[in-house]
């Protein structure tokens, strides 16, 4: 017989051998998903026998992960801001550091919000779940991504209007103004060697790269956002750790005031925001 503790050990060893640097956490998630147990359950039941079915599910997931498929794609979900989100290779895997974007969005009042390049819907669904009265929109250029986001909204019972659009260019947005525009756009430089590492090779390239300096999409969003924001409305953009100064410059040039950058838990510049001036 194989106990849960033994299955956990085997899974962890296989993932370590395959080069995962998060083998312990990933093995726990695989065994929890295979057995339906939570963190506490894993400890309480560690001497129990794994059922045949659970063992087969765990082996299958471990094998795929060991082949290099990101765990979120193997399991089909990722937890973000307390929400369990379905993900597929059509969408970027939500990152922990993107919770900073959500926290910054929630740090001031707003009645209407729009998320540009929503992917799985992670950012707008986290915002809507924390501010149920806000009216929320989100767009993506990828119809496949929008299907994932719509399914997540339905599963979580959260009402968001999804629009197929390249940033704010769709007719559906014409004449619309929001209190808050947020985006985790693509911002990696086209030749960045990181693109060959971690989960990045498996993720949609259109969600990752943005021209030679990684800032093409941030420039486009900064140019389009002012005519879609109310006075005093805010734009919040996630960006790379070394792009803060350039993004602040782009926002100031586009007419934003009160331009500032929030850092992630490791102290790196991560989210830059600007406000539309109150007076003309
Ligand atoms: N933060 C992601 C990474 O570097 C990139 C996400 C993005 O381009 N928006 O792994």
For the segment 51-65, what is each residue's pLDDT rounded down to a tens digit? Answer: 999 999 999 999 999
Rounded to the nearest whole angstrom, what is the distance from the C-alpha of residue 240 to the centroid of ligand 1? 7
> Taking the alpha carbons of 148, 150, 151, 153 in that order, is the dihedral positive or negative?
positive
Give the max Cα distance, the chain: 74
Distance 99 CA to ligand 1 centre (A): 13
Instruction: Quote the pLDDT of residue 265.
Output: 86
Question: pLDDT tens across 138-148, in order?
Answer: 999 999 999 99
Q: Is the CB of 186 within 6 Å of ligand 1?
A: yes
The pTM for the full model equals 0.96
- Low-confidence stretches of the chain (pLDDT < 70) are 280
187 lines ligand 1 (CB under 6 A): yes
Phi, psi (5° rounding) for residue 51? -70, 160
Half-sphere exposure of 172 (CA within 13 A, CB side): 13
According to the model, what pLDDT value does residue 1 have?
A: 87
User: What atom of ligand 1 comes closest to residue 97's alpha carbon?
Assistant: 1
Q: How far apart are CA 226 and CA 28, in angstroms?
A: 45
| Ligand 1 atom with the shortest distance to the CA of 185 | 9
Could you tell me the distance, in angstroms and rounded to a whole number, from the CA of residue 264 to the centre of ligand 1?
A: 13
Mutation to probe ligand 1, out of 201, 207, 208, 270 (largest number of atoms < 8 A from CB): 208
236 DSSP β-pair partners: 182, 273
Instruction: Quote the pLDDT of residue 274.
Output: 98
Nearest to 211 by CA among 194, 186, 235, 237: 186
What pLDDT, on a 0 to 100 scale, did the predictor assign at position 280?
61
Query: Are 137 and 116 spatial neighbours (Cβ–Cβ below 8 Å)?
Result: no
Kindly report the backbone phi and psi dihedral angles of residue 229, in degrees, each rounded to the nearest multiple of 5, phi listed first.
-115, 140
Using a 6 Å cutoff on CB, does residue 206 contact ligand 1? no
Q: Name residues whose C-beta falls within 8 Å of residue 89's C-beta, 6 or more positions apart in sequence.
A: 73, 202, 203, 204
CA of 210 to the centre of ligand 1 (A): 11
How far, in Å, is the centroid of ligand 1 from the Cα of 186? 7
Find the 188 Cα to ligand 1 centroid distance in Å.
Answer: 7
């Amino acid at each position: 017989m194989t106990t849960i503790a033994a299955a956990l050990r085997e899974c962890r060893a296989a993932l370590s051998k395959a080069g995962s640097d998060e083998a312990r956490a990933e093995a726990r998630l695989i065994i929890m998903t295979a057995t339906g147990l939570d963190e506490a359950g894993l400890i309480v039941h560690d001497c129990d026998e794994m059922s045949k079915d659970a063992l087969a599910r765990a082996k299958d997931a471990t094998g795929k992960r060991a082949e290099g498929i990101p765990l979120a794609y193997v399991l089909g979900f990722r937890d973000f801001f307390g929400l369990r989100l379905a993900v597929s290779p059509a969408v970027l895997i939500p990152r922990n550091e993107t919770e900073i974007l959500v926290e910054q969005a929630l740090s001031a009042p707003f009645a209407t919000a729009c998320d540009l390049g929503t992917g799985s819907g992670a950012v707008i669904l986290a915002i809507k779940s924390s501010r149920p009265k806000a009216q929320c929109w989100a767009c993506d250029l990828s119809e496949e991504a929008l299907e994932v986001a719509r399914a997540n909204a339905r599963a979580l019972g959260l009402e968001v209007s999804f629009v197929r659009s390249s940033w704010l260019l769709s007719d559906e947005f014409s004449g619309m103004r929001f209190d808050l525009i947020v985006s985790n756009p693509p911002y990696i430089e086209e030749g960045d060697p990181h693109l060959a590492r971690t989960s990045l090779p498996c993720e949609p390239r259109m969600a990752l790269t943005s021209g030679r300096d990684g800032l093409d999409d941030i420039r486009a969003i900064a140019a389009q956002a002012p005519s879609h924001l109310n006075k005093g409305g805010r734009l919040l953009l996630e960006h790379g750790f070394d792009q803060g100064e350039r993004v602040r410059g782009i926002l100031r040039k586009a007419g934003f005031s009160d331009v500032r950058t929030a850092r992630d838990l490791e102290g790196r510049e991560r989210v830059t925001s600007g406000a539309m001036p109150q007076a003309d």
